[in-house]
Amino acid sequence: MPDISITVSGRNAEGLPEIIAWVLERNLPFSVNFCRQNDLSVTHGDLKLDEEKIIEGMMAAFEVIENNLPERSLLASLTDRANLAIPHMKTCSVGQDYLVFDQHGRVAKCQMKMNEAVADINTEDPLTLIREDQIGIQNISVEGKEGCRDCQWKYWCTGGCPLETYRATGRYDLQSPNCNIYKAIFPEVLRLEGLRLLKHAGELA
C-alpha cells in the first residue's frame, strides 16, 4: 500500500481538504509536511510558508478528517516534523545516525544539503565524520532551543527542522519559524485523536 506524503505550502494550502478527503476515501496512510526550502526552490516565493493560509488550510482539512475519522492514528501524521505519538528530544536523526548518498557516491548529512557532502563511499567510517561535523546542520536537543525550553509541546514538537530554523534565523538553537502554526494545530490534532478513539472504541476493545 502506498504511503502518501503531502507537502503543504502557501501555494497549495487551499487544496489540502480535497487531497485529505481523497486519501481518506481510499483508506491510504498519509502524512502532512510543510514545504522546506532547498537551493532549487528558493526563488519560488509562493512556496514559502504563509502562516495564515497554512493554518486555514489545516483547519479545513481537520474538518474533513472529523467527518471521516480513520482507523489508524494520525498523531504522527498531521504535524509536519512533530510527532505527538511519542515524546522525544530531537526532530530527526541528522548528525546522529543518518547518512544520505547521492548518485556520485557522496555522503551528506541531509537530503536537503546534498551539495555539502561530508564524506564519500570510499570513506572508511562516514558516520563518525557525520557525527563529528561542526560545520553543517547541527541537531540540537529541544532542551537547548531558546523559546522551546518552557513550551508544553517541547517533547512532541522538539522545535522543528533544524535546517529550516537556520535558514530563517541563522541559528540552530531557536524555536522553529513554524512555531505559531504548530501551536495552532497541535490542540486540534489531539482533539481529533480523541474523537477517533471514541469512534473506534468498540473495534479497539
How far apart are CB 45 and ligand SF4 at their closest, in Å?
A: 23
- For residue 22, the minimal CB distance to ligand SF4 (Å) is 29
* 176 binds ligand SF4, rule: CB under 6 A: yes
Binding of ligand SF4 by 34 (CB under 6 A)? no
Q: Does 183 bind ligand SF4 (CB under 6 A)?
A: yes
In the complex, minimum distance from the CB of residue 89 to ligand SF4, in angstroms, rounded to a whole number:
11
Smaller CB separation from ligand SF4, 183 or 200: 183
Of 101 and 155, nearer to ligand SF4 (C-beta) is 155
Minimal CA–CA distance to 78: which of 131, 128, 19? 19
By CB under 6 A, tell whether 81 contacts ligand SF4. Answer: no
Applying CB under 6 A, which of residues 36, 175, 188, 192 lies at the interface with ligand SF4? 175
Please answer whether residues 175 and 165 qualify as being in contact, where contact means their C-beta atoms are separated by less than 8 angstroms: yes
Which lies closer to ligand SF4 via its Cβ, residue 90 or residue 131? 90
Q: Is 153 in the site for ligand SF4 (CB under 6 A)?
A: yes
Q: Does 49 bind ligand SF4 (CB under 6 A)?
A: no
Decide if residue 157 touches ligand SF4 (CB under 6 A): yes
147 contacts ligand SF4 (rule: CB under 6 A): yes
* Of 19, 54, 25, 71, nearest in space to 193 by CA: 71
**Least Å distance between CB 92 and ligand SF4?**
14
Q: SS3 letters for the chain?
A: CCCEEEEECCCCHHHHHHHHHHHHHCCCCEEEEECCCCCCCCCCHHHCCCHHHHHHHHHHHHHHHHCCCCCCCCCCCCCCCCCCCCCCCCCCCCCCCCCEECCCCEEECCHHHCCCCCEECCCCCHHHHHHHCCCCCCCCCHHHCECCCCCCCHHHHCCCCHHHHHHHHCCCCECCCCHHHHHHHHHHHHHHHHHHHHHCHHHHC
Binding site for ligand SF4 (CB under 6 A): 142, 147-148, 151, 153-154, 157, 159-160, 175-176, 179, 182-183
